Structure 1
Amino acid sequence: MKKNSFNTKSLLALLICLFIFAASGCSAENSNSDSEGEKMNEKNKKVTMIFSFKSASLDPHTSFTPIRAGITETLLKLDENSNIEGWLVEKWGTLDSTTWEFTIRDNVTFQDGDKLDAAGVKASIERSIAINESLGESLKIASMEADGQNLTITTTGPYPALPSELVNPYTSIVNTAAELEMGQEKFRNSPVGTGPFSVKKFTSNQEVQVVKNDNYWAGKPKINEATIKFNEDANVRALAFQAKEADVVYNLPAEGIEVIEKDKELTVKSVPGLRSHFILYNQQSSKVEDVKVRAALNLLINRKSIADDIMLGHAIPANGPFNSDLPFGSDDAVKKLDLNKAKLLLAEAGYTENADGKMEKDGKALKLELITYKARPELPLIAQLFQSDCAKAGIEIIIKTVENADTHLVENKGWDMSTYSNNTSPRGDGSYFLNTAFTETGALNVGRINLPEMNEVIKELNKTRDLDKRTQLTKDAATIINKEVLHSYAVYPNIIVGVNDRIKNWIPTAEEYYILTHTMDVK
């Protein structure tokens, strides 16, 4: 009896032990499964993006790609309201009208582990000026002194716009000591910056692959890797987004949005930006040097049709260089298409209409070459609409599509006009655009504009601190631009960006600088 009792109890105990063991095994198995799932999720934290502009190199002092790809950073940056804030700088201020002091963050290292200090910043800024000549004019630096984390910059004269100019991506801070070790050519394709991502592989004009910088000063990036591809064909970009070959795609064609939005996993963000689409005039061309001819051409731009029919409502008609919603935007009325007035202006410029309806002067028909490019899909369409309306006024427009408009306009003098797009107030201020597009040494002044009246206003703006006075001077400059028709502004376009719903903690921003960030994550 006792023996039987003992056996029953033993069996019961054994069964309990087996149950506990099995439960423990299941728990361990689930734990391992969860752990493997987390590891798999970490491995899948990769993002693919497509940008509309090619990048021949990754030199941050000649290309915006490094800052957009999270490789480099600047001393100062813009916040979500386009106000200037510190980035690699903790604080800054002026001692007098020409002396600026900047305190560099003490906890920042380059991607190779070297500490960032004022001497490194000084060397990087010196490199940027040597590589990009236009920066010398825009920064107006007379001298720099480095002491630990403190950098003192003395400008050539009173220059309150210096902080705004230090937001410029071309002033990105890089480790020049690494360039000495690597050599300039290798460094230009794999720069060492302070950003959340470092270069893994770069293929010129095709793509850049980056990996996270675990030692990033502002916190470990959420994304492990990212591939940024370059493709100037808007339709190819749209198809890649629809096929989910890319998570984020910039500058989608407006006409493709409706189809994309039928997919519940895809979203299109249309963000009001700080950009203008406009027509550049080549001041070296005898055909458009007369302001009356430019004024006539200005009246042949159908701004409403561009906004409604080409941009499909993702733009508003422009009345000057700066978005009319900005404090320093122009008060001028938006010019409407006016064929009759355009013909009258051409007559005042000495042109007569021949039997074929063509405008001619001294026996020569008015024939103009218009440059355009495909990276922004609406620009060739704007060129075609403009061509059609000019034909009604007896002006023949020859459209020439080029791959790289910036290079073509600089290297060639025979063009008359060009469709163009530029971020005219990327730093919440108009001085950048005015200095780069209208001064004699400005990097964007490919039309060789040199107007004394304009130069004086910009000179006064550059030394003015008072915000109200700066606003008025900027508006004065816009008035001159419109009066002299130095450019013809068509529309203020939205930034159209495709975003896969797997992307989280990220939205496209108006300034178009800070794209791949350490806070971007995936579901």
Structure 2
Amino acid sequence: MKLWPKRLPWLLCLALTATFLHTPTVQARGETPVDQLVVGMSMINLLSLDPAAATGLEVSEVNSNVYDMLLEQDAARPDQLVPALAERWEISPDRMRLTFHLRAGVTFHSGNPLTAQDVAWSLQRVVTLNKALASTWKAYGYSAENVTRLVRAEGPLTFVMDLPKPTDPMLVLNTLATSPSAFVVDRLTVQQHAQGDDQGAAWLTTHTAGSGAFKLDIWRANDVILMTRFDNYWRGPAKMRRVVMRNMTESQALRLMVERGDLDVARGMAATDIKALTRSDDVEVQTIPRGTLYYVAMSMEQPLFKDIKVRQAVRSLIDYEGINNVVMPHYGIINQRPLQLGLQARLDDPGYRLNVAQAKRLLAEAGYPEGFKITIRSLTDSPFINIATSLQSTLAQAGIQANIITGTGNQIYGAMRDRKFDILVGRGGGGAERHPHSSLRALVYNPDNREQAKLTNFQGWRTSFFDPQINSLIEQAEQERDPGRQLALYQQIQTLYDQQAGPIMPVSQMTDEVVIHADVRQYLGHSAATTRLRDVYKQR
């Protein structure tokens, strides 16, 4: 049974919340309490709060406020890593060991002191439970067999990570600063709630055991989350006394609540409603860049796309300018490289444009002067279906007849994982890690193209793109110690991928837009979805 009926008027909801938590209800109509931040967002993908298992942006928005990390990616300058639980860290001369020195005096919400053993156990737990978020650590070479030996406490406030194989330590540090698996849990509290050998997994699905600025009071799935300020937080108490997150999936309802002043922050609003709100002086729209890319992908299992000239023709039939000017406002910004915008290693866009004449010439040279028939798979959601529709139209100008097949995420990406598709409009990439290897590993790298390898985490494998030279350069760049040579390697990879007309063709880099009421101060949306609310307040 839900805490609040779905259609209950907002003022009554607020009154019930206040009554339940013994808080004053006196306030002006159409205003949220001055000491509470009220957020409207979709929670339909928020299935677990466990840092070892919880995936998706929504859970990061919650856990980043109830847990802490060793270090953080600076929200205003995401290329900079700043201390958090770790006051400082060191990289050994051979780049195979990271040593973290923890700050003293940090306590969990339970009152237990936070120690290096908690940090070690938290990461060991991610690997040994082997759920979704273990994949990143397994890619570094950690396993259930070696993690307790390599990831360990060396004293109450010294935490050590030995790397199983050579990699760029900055890549590991970026993971520790952004991954939903890198939150530090209260080992003693979780162990008290363990069932058998689940290491507290069942309990942590719906509970938290953190040291963050807020404590979780209530989580009602697909309904509401209530968090209260943790007064003994090591950085000092948060400025807001309480955070209320409401599950809201209808964009027009979000817009109405913002206009009435019943929401302080709204996430997941449709582009049309955001555009309408930009005309109001009562709200601010904040654009947050994400690390993932919208792309057009071709399967090289399809004989047509094994021919580089056909791939080049499709590349010439993507209306990059039209898509980004018409479809992508409020969703993304143009990016034609398989690296995030803003990285030093990223080359400038190659400047691809819709060029039907060039596409027709390439198709004729490939033996398809009249074009061919093909399918495009896409989600029904915007902007995926809009990109697919644009592509269908421009392909037709060169004689390629494309039928659009829509479906759910499991159906569309499932076909990609099974390598059973022709063209697919998708989104993917390295996520929040501000490192070239993160994107290249996700989109380009494919160490084993055999069907039985089933490397479904590699989107290069999903498209059957296999280039030994590019693979080798990615591996070299990951381990290269000289920054200048590493930079040159990453730029060489981009050039070669461009020359090969790689089958994943980036169109735009994802952005999120958050609508914020005008009286909210210090809200800074984070590119890693770890938006921390400890400094947020209201000015009225």
Q: TM-score, normalised by structure 2?
A: 0.78
Classify the secondary structure of the residue corresponding to 1:174.
Answer: coil
Residue 430 (structure 1) aligned with residue 436 (structure 2): yes
Letter in 2 for 1:470: Q
In the alignment, what sits opposite 2:493?
477
Please, which moves more after superposition, 73-82 or 344-353?
344-353
In the alignment, what sits opposite 1:189?
206
Relative to structure 1, is the Cα distance of residues 517 and 313 closer, same or farther in structure 2, using a 3 angstrom cutoff? closer
Q: How does 1:46-445 map to 2 (within 5 A)?
A: 46-51=37-42, 54-61=45-52, 62-63=54-55, 64-69=57-62, 70-79=65-74, 80-82=76-78, 83-97=80-94, 98-129=96-127, 130-131=130-131, 132-141=133-142, 143-147=150-154, 148-159=156-167, 160=169, 161-167=171-177, 168-182=179-193, 183-204=200-221, 207-229=224-246, 237-271=254-288, 274-286=291-303, 288-312=305-329, 316-323=333-340, 325-353=342-370, 359-360=371-372, 366-372=373-379, 374=381, 377-393=382-398, 394-403=400-409, 408=414, 413-422=419-428, 424=430, 426-440=432-446, 443=457, 445=459
Q: Deviations over 1:235-286 (max 9, x none)?
A: 5544554454432223544443442133322221235555532223445555
Q: Deviations over 1:354-408 (max 9, x none)?
A: xxxxx33xxxxx221322253xx33332222122222323231314142567864
Separation in 2, partners of 1:287, 1:88? 53
Maintained 8 Å contact 1:50/1:249:
yes
Maintained 8 Å contact 2:418/2:462:
no
Relative to structure 1, is the Cα distance of residues 382 and 473 closer, same or farther in structure 2, using a 3 angstrom cutoff? same
RMSD: 3.3
Classify the secondary structure of the residue corresponding to 1:189.
Answer: coil
Separation in 2, partners of 1:209, 1:36? 16
Relative to structure 1, is the Cα distance of residues 385 and 480 closer, same or farther in structure 2, using a 3 angstrom cutoff? same
Letter in 2 for 1:474: Y
Q: How does 1:468-507 map to 2 (within 5 A)?
A: 468-484=484-500, 485-507=502-524
Maintained 8 Å contact 1:55/1:206:
no
Separation in 2, partners of 1:460, 1:224? 50
Relative to structure 1, is the Cα distance of residues 50 and 425 closer, same or farther in structure 2, using a 3 angstrom cutoff? closer
Separation in 2, partners of 1:52, 1:383? 27
Classify the secondary structure of the residue corresponding to 1:81.
Answer: coil
Maintained 8 Å contact 2:379/2:412:
no
Relative to structure 1, is the Cα distance of residues 370 and 507 closer, same or farther in structure 2, using a 3 angstrom cutoff? same
Letter in 2 for 1:60: P
In the alignment, what sits opposite 1:45?
36
| Alpha-carbon offset, residue 125 of structure 1 | 0.7
| Alpha-carbon offset, residue 496 of structure 1 | 2.0
| Alpha-carbon offset, residue 111 of structure 1 | 2.6
Letter in 1 for 2:173: P
- Unaligned runs of 5+ residues in structure 2 are 1-23, 194-199, 447-454
Q: TM-score, normalised by structure 1?
A: 0.80
State the number of aligned residues: 475
Maintained 8 Å contact 1:201/1:208:
yes
Maintained 8 Å contact 2:107/2:234:
yes
Maintained 8 Å contact 1:281/1:288:
yes
| Alpha-carbon offset, residue 127 of structure 1 | 1.7
| Alpha-carbon offset, residue 519 of structure 1 | 0.9
- Unaligned runs of 5+ residues in structure 1 are 1-34, 354-358, 361-365
